[in-house]
Amino acid sequence: MVSRTEYLEMRTKASREFVNLTEPVRAIVRRSGVAEGFVLVSSMHITSAVFVNDNEAGLLADIGRWAERLAPRGDYEHHRTGESNGDAHLKNLLLGHQVVLPVTRGELDLGPWEQLFYGEFDGQRPKRVVVKVVGDA
């Protein structure tokens, strides 16, 4: 069994932003030497998300609006602690904290339209995403 762990540093320009991670994760999979296995991609922060979907601008805008409708900026109990990002925590729950994807013949094995995204909901500061590839060489 072979494994490799790398970290992607995320620093978004906006406080709310989607970043396509497909190519950086694909490069990590290739460097890992894993031929058959899995890659875990996980946000190390509870105000961001990792998810798979189509890389289409209108769809990404729709996802952002959907998340905002379900967890709008506003007043939350969490804000009584001095924080102001209660909605970002809820958006993490909506879109997901991590994904596990297949590695086949040494490549990230995605469907024809699938892309991997990082969703930031409380950004403009350094955060990390862990990428762990595990499998047989």
- List, for residues 51-104, the tens digit of each pLDDT value: 999 999 999 999 999 999 999 999 999 999 999 999 999 999 999 999 999 999
CATH for 48:
2.60.120.460
Q: What is the C-alpha separation between 88 and 16, in angstroms, rounded? A: 9
136: β partners: 36
**Cβ(118)–Cβ(44) below 8 Å:** no
Q: What is the C-alpha separation between 49 and 54, in angstroms, rounded? A: 16
The answer to whether residue 94 is domain-embedded is yes
Which of 3, 1, 22, 19 is CA-nearest to residue 11? 19
The answer to whether residue 125 is domain-embedded is yes
Which of 14-18, 65-69, 122-126 is the least confident region? 122-126
The answer to whether residue 103 is domain-embedded is yes
The total of structural domains in the chain comes to 1
Per-residue pLDDT, 124: 86
Residue 55 is given by DSSP the state -
pTM for this one?
Answer: 0.95
Confidence at 115, pLDDT banded by 50, 70, 90: very high
Per-residue pLDDT, 15: 92
Q: What is the C-alpha separation between 86 and 99, in angstroms, rounded? A: 23
The answer to whether residue 79 is domain-embedded is no
- Give the structural domain span for 27: 2-72+84-136
Contacts of 101 by beta carbon, 8 Å cutoff, 6+ apart: 25, 38, 39, 41, 52, 108, 109, 110, 116
The answer to whether residue 130 is domain-embedded is yes
The answer to whether residue 78 is domain-embedded is no
The answer to whether residue 115 is domain-embedded is yes
**Cβ(97)–Cβ(43) below 8 Å:** yes
The answer to whether residue 32 is domain-embedded is yes
Per-residue pLDDT, 40: 98
